[in-house]
A and B are shown apart, each in its own frame.
Chain A
Amino acid sequence: MSTSKWDVTFLVYRKKGQGTPHYDEFTIKVNPDEYVLDAIERIWAYQDRSLVFAHACHHSTCGACGMRVNGVEKLTCITLIRDVTADGGKVKVDPLRNFPIISDLTVDMGVLYTRMDEVGHRPVLPLSEEPAEPGVKPVKIAAEGDIIRLADCIECGLCISACPIANTTSGYLGPAVLAGALQHGLDSDQHLFSLVEGENGVWRCHSAFECTEVCPSYVEPAGKIMELRKQVIWKRIFGIAK
C-alpha cells in the first residue's frame, strides 16, 4: 500500500424524508489504496453522523454497498479510490438507479429480492451442487482456471441500476433475476417458463450488456439472458429446453 495521502472531495447525494435532494461536499484525506466505502464510512464517523448508507461484509460477498461512483455502478467495498479519482480530485457518489430511495445513499431493493425468490434462485450452494455452466459436471476446484456460478449473484442490484430497460420499465424482471432463473433451467417449472418468456422476461432485453459490464461477481447476466432465449426457443419447438 502507498503511504502518501490524497485530498479527495466527495460529492454525496443527500435526501431525508420528503426533503429536497441535494449534494453535500466532504473533503477528506485518504490513502489511494483504500476503498470508496472506507471514505464514506469515515465521513459518517468524523464529519456527518446523519449520513445513511448500506454496507455489511466489506469484501464483496453480501452485495449491500452498491452505489454509483462518478455515474458508474460499483460495489464500493472493493472499489479502490485510486481507480476513480486522483489527488485533489472529486468523486461523486449517488444511490443506485431504478430503486426507490430510502435516504441518502440507501435504496429499497425489496422488488429485486422478491423476484429472486419467485424464480427460486438459491444464493448459497456447495460447489458439488451447482455446475460451473449449464450441463457441465459439478466443479472440482482445480489448481488453475476460473468458474462461473449463478449462486455467486450477491443481489447487489448494480445490474438493475445500469440496465437501460429497467430504467424505462419497472415491470422488467431485470438481469439478476433472469440470470437467477437459469439456475434451475426452464424445464423445472411452468411458472418459471411463463415468467421468463412473458412480456417482462428475456425478450425485453436490448442486449446492451451494461449488466455484465458492472457485475462484480462474474455472473455475466447478459450472457445468461442470451442462453435463456435459446432455451425458450428450444422449449417452444421441441418441448424441452435442452
Chain B
Amino acid sequence: MILTTQEAADELRVTPFAIRKMVERGELVPIAKGARPLRFALLAVAEAQYRRISATETATLDTLADRLTCIPDEDLSR
C-alpha cells in the first residue's frame, strides 16, 4: 500500500512539513529516495509510527490488550 505525503501525515498525526523533515532526518524512508513527489510504503510509515508511540500510550494499550485477551472466544459472540 502506497501513501502520499498528506496520507502519511494523517497516519502519524503530523503535518506534511513534519513528514518532509522526518525524511530529511532519515526517520522515514520514502519508496524512491530523491524522487518527487514523495511516496511511502504503509509499512515504512508504520515503523515510524511505532517508534513514536510513547511509553504511556504503550502501557495503556498493553492494559487494554490484556483485557481483550482475557475474554474467552465463547463470550465474544454474545
Q: Do A and B bind each other?
A: no
